[in-house]
Amino acid sequence: MALPYPQIASDQASGIGAFNINLRAFLFQLLTFVIVLYIFKRWILPPLTKTLEARRKTVEESLANAAKTKDELEKAEARVKQMIAEGRASADDVIKGAQDEAKNLVAKAETAASAQAERVLNDAKDQISQEHNKLREELKGELASLVVLTTEKVLKTKLNAKEDAKLVEKSIEEIN
């Protein structure tokens, strides 16, 4: 393709001109780049680096803390599990103890109730027996009174003077 500036075109045809680069512009841009680079390195990069380093340290600390926290959490979970297990075992012991005590109490109460029931039963039997004997004695007494009364009435009716004289005679013979 033909350039509008034939001289320049002839200059650019060899060396750097082959790349069609404006040297002056290139130098200017290079200088600008260097300046920008210097500024970046002088004022921007250090705080940025420092910030990033701080950020990195923070992250590392956070990670360390997280790991530590994780360990502590695991330890705490283990302790909690152990405490739960111990508590469960202790609770089982307590429950078992309470159950045994309750069984003992029930057994004692049953024994006491049985003894008391037996005592009450024996007392009732004794009382019934006493009442029975008392009634029997009363009945015997009443029967005896009745028999004697009847005999007395019969004798008063049947025993005349003659028979009484015989009885008296016999009684006199028995005196000694």
Q: By CB under 8 A, what part of segment 108-127 binds other proteins? A: none
CA atoms within 13 A on the CB side of 139: 6
- Range in contact with other proteins (rule: CB under 8 A) among 3-11, 53-61, 91-99, 139-147: 139-147
143 binds other proteins (CB under 8 A): yes
In the DSSP assignment, the letter for residue 15 is G
133 binds other proteins (CB under 8 A): no
159 binds other proteins (CB under 8 A): yes
- Range in contact with other proteins (rule: CB under 8 A) among 11-19, 81-89, 96-104, 164-172: 164-172
Length of the chain: 176
140 binds other proteins (CB under 8 A): yes
Q: Are 11 and 17 in contact (CB under 8 A)?
A: yes
Q: Are 48 and 56 in contact (CB under 8 A)?
A: no
Residues 6 or more apart whose Cβ sits within 8 Å of residue 18: 12
* Of 98, 97, 74, the residue nearest 82 (C-alpha): 74
Distance CA 110, CA 117 (A): 10
Of 8, 36, 115, 165, which one interacts with other proteins (CB under 8 A)? Answer: 165
- Range in contact with other proteins (rule: CB under 8 A) among 15-23, 33-41, 49-57, 146-154: 146-154
Q: By CB under 8 A, what part of segment 64-103 binds other proteins? A: none
Distance CA 114, CA 90 (A): 35
139 binds other proteins (CB under 8 A): no
Query: Minimum distance between the CB of residue 160 and other proteins, rounded to whole angstroms?
Result: 9
**Residues at the site binding other proteins, with contacts judged by CB under 8 A:** 140-141, 143-145, 147-148, 151-152, 155-156, 159, 161, 163-165, 167-169, 171-176
